[in-house]
Amino acid sequence: MTKREWGVLFVLCGAIFLEGIDIAMLNIALPAIRADLGMSTGELQWVVSAYVLGYGGFMLVGGRAADLFGRRRMFVAWLAVFLAFSGLGGFAEEGWVLIVARFVTGVAAAFMTPAGLSIITTSFAEGAARNRALLIYSGTAAGGFSVGLVVGGLLTAVDWRWVFGAPVVLSAVVLIAALVLIPASARPERTGRRVDLAGGIAVTAGIVLLVLGVERATHAGAGMTALTIGAGLAAFAAFAVIERRSEFPLVRLRILRSAALIRANLATLLMAAAFFGFQFLAVLYMQELRGWSTLETSFALLVMGVDVVLAPTLTPWLVRRFGTGRVIFGGLAAAVVAYVLFLPIASDWTYAAMFPSLLLIGLSFSLAYGPLTIAATDGIAEEEQGLAGGLLYTSFQFGAALGLSTVTAVNVAATHGTGAAAMLGGYRAALVVPLALAVVAAVVSAFGLRRVRVPETVAA
């Protein structure tokens, strides 16, 4: 790669590192936030879900905006918004203020991230160069998550509000670097195209209502739950109708005829749902049932960050040797084994008993995440790379929100009474959810193995 390409990749990796560290630090701080702001388990999961809903709900709009209004312009402008509202979350004195701040931060990420991904996919030629850049990019996201686990524990030990201060500093550095290193691109031609806001509102409403319906299933009547979920499904149906009739659709429905793209997005959704649901439960188990400190929890989960080493080293070699489809399947199969091993969790488990599952989850991400990114953008026309990135990240964030709401609902429903035994019963029941999701993800990815293709070259 040229110096200019390395500079661009450096900035974009900084942005995705920022996203990873932000999510990881917040997850570690959740019990401390609950204790300080007096939030219930249902309210607490919305601190995470608000972010991923804003992220996933507006991702398609963000991806299309990058294509129409300029990728660099969207990346820089929304990075500034991300910076501002990350800082605002640290000043929250009420749970709802924190939830709102996290939602807007997620919306900013929804415009920033697909713009960054499409800068990569349009700056590097399809094939070896682009695959290498994407694997470095996804590996950096994993690195951000790993660093965030430790830094989040250290900062939460002082005060959980510092967890929101660190992303402000990092995003300011990335913003300055972006202004210097990402070259200004030509303004997109005025073709009369516009962002399909009606479609964006419909898909966002569908995502929010579906997640809300699942989360409230345990403390709302069956009629209200069915009505909420039904409204969410109706919003998705309305989205399909709007896109079919729109002159300038948010999603060109013909793009969904690609079996590889559908398979990659569905597997990504299920993988994210399983992972975020599992991590939410693991943090609560370690800190609230076992009484571990935030720092002890951070170091316990750190092994999941093994993907920061494996993603840029082992995964490219495996993709060259076996192709993206087989590597993705192997990663999802590793996730299934990891969740199975964690099912018999007990109140006196040692870290040695948890270690195999945590290590396998890190291995799973290193094998699946980068190749799924390649599969979801491979063969897509340049003018729709922003859309392809938006679809992928929408799937990831929607999956994360759905996984969180589902494990929360099952956990609350299965926790009868108080005390360690009741908590453990809730955790055991909810841990079945990530396992089931991972099994379905592996089955979905297996369909890609039926058509064997020559592995694409990935630069070492």
Sketch the domain layout of the chain as residue ranges: 3-185+250-449, 196-249
Q: Which of 370, 332, 309 has the alpha carbon at shortest distance from 132? A: 370
Q: Write down the pLDDT at residue 52.
A: 76
Task: Say what the pLDDT of residue 452 is.
Answer: 43
The predicted structure's pLDDT at residue 396: 85
Distance CA 402, CA 413 (A): 16
User: Residue 453: its pLDDT value, please?
Assistant: 47
- Is the pTM value of this prediction over 0.75? yes
For residue 284, which amino acid is it? L
pLDDT at 358: 95
Per-residue confidence (pLDDT) for residue 433, from 0 to 100: 96
What is the C-alpha to C-alpha distance for residues 244 and 156, in angstroms, rounded to an integer?
48
Q: Under a CB-based contact definition with an 8 Å cutoff, are residues 371 and 48 in contact?
A: no
pLDDT attached to residue 209: 86
pLDDT at residue 186 in the model:
61
Identity of residue 295 = L
Low-confidence ranges of the chain (pLDDT < 50): 452-460
Render pLDDT for 302-361 as a digit per residue (tens, 0 to 9): 888 787 788 778 888 898 888 889 999 999 999 999 999 999 999 889 999 999 999 999
Residues making up the chain, counted from first to last: 460
Q: Is 221 left (phi over 0), alpha (psi -120 to 50) or beta?
A: beta
Q: Spell out the CATH class of 3-185+250-449.
A: mainly alpha
pLDDT the model gives residue 460: 38
Give the pLDDT score at 131.
77
